[in-house]
Amino acid sequence: MRTYNIPIFVPHKGCPFDCVFCNQKRITGEIREVTPDDIREIISSYLKTLPKTDRYIEAAFFGGSFTGIPMDEQSALLSAAHEFLARGEIDGIRLSTRPDYISEEILDNLQKYGVTTIELGVQSMNDEVLKASNRGHTRADVVKAAEMIKRYPFTLGLQMMTGLPLDTFERSVETAREIIALKPAIVRIYPTLTIKDTYLEKLYLSGKYKPQTVDEAVELCKRLLLMFEKNGITVIRIGLQATDEICENGSVVAGPVHSAFRELVESAVYYDKIEKLIKNCAKKCEKGAKKCEKSAKNGTKNAVIAVNPREISKAVGNRRANIIKLKSEENIDLKVTGDASLSKGEVKLVCF
């Protein structure tokens, strides 16, 4: 069964915060408020493009702080989406919000309108990083909100950012550890992008903020992805944040932008697995195991690995990055083949 999200962007016009990476203040007034009729129109038109069977559809309210808008407006918007839920035309409603905009009164109301998933913009579990990012909430707010949400039958999602001001590799890893301890079902990882007309842009232009490079962000996100997966938490997104808290029409001034960022991260995970497999095999050879004859020609070694056929492009890497890296670092010519018996992420050494 395939899952579909019907995205509904709800800009939080009255947002009293001023997160350093957000350009919402600048565009306030440029975006028309979403009305219940807009929601009916968005969901109806989207449904026409989706299959009628074998699908799970959620209306997804993005915008960062849905539960910060006045309760009667929340109810009006949710009520419009709930009409589709009541008719069985969609299967759930999801939304994203801030950790300090969660209370029992809010959660009771969300439950009343059939909300299924709540995602919290955590961004960091380090109070210094949160303060430097002007988030306006603390680590303790995140813990309190996550625990409160888990007392309800909602699916909990947590979103974190990397490369925020004062953030480091270790602090991001620690944030991931603390997120894991809160046991969310899903996680999103967003490397920080410097958007035009934000305070972060000023910091960047004055040399007080150094954005992550693509390579740094990939290396860190690789570690985070493995941590979450090891703990049974599904990472539903890594990379560009197009319609969430950073508004769509902000242009990126600096930061780890790549249109296939998640694929870069997953390819880096494959590279490590392939390299480890080959090195382990080479060690066994040194200990006296029979060496593959193909491996000795002209000092260049040949390796053939198999992965699930759907994962071949990730194992090969963006623009054959893994093939090129293995050749330049280990002098190994790598061939990647498909094997349908292998599951996603599994790598088998066929010949080395």
Contacts to ligand SF4 by CB under 6 A: 12, 15, 17-19, 22, 24, 64-65, 98, 245
Instruction: Check if the beta carbon of residue 178 is closer than 8 Å to that of residue 257.
Output: no
The most distant pair of C-alpha atoms in the chain lies apart, rounded to whole Å, by 74
Can you list the positions of beta strands (E) in the chain?
A: 2-9, 55-62, 92-97, 115-123, 155-162, 186-191, 194-195, 234-238, 252-254, 301-307, 332-338, 348-351
Minimum CB–partner distance for residue 32 and ligand SF4 (Å):
17
Q: Of 82 and 94, which has the nearer Cβ to ligand SF4?
A: 94
Minimum CB–partner distance for residue 17 and ligand SF4 (Å):
4
Exposed e or buried b per residue across 221-260, where buried means at least 16 C-beta atoms within 10 angstroms of its C-beta: bbbbbebbeeeebebebbbbbeebbbbeebeebbbbbbee
Minimum CB–partner distance for residue 245 and ligand SF4 (Å):
4
Instruction: Check if the beta carbon of residue 249 is closer than 8 Å to that of residue 198.
Output: no
Minimum CB–partner distance for residue 22 and ligand SF4 (Å):
3
Q: Of 14 and 338, which has the nearer Cβ to ligand SF4?
A: 14
Number of other CB atoms surrounding residue 76 within 10 Å: 14
Q: Of 64 and 157, which has the nearer Cβ to ligand SF4?
A: 64
Q: Of 65 and 172, which has the nearer Cβ to ligand SF4?
A: 65
Q: Of 17 and 270, which has the nearer Cβ to ligand SF4?
A: 17
Minimum CB–partner distance for residue 201 and ligand SF4 (Å):
14
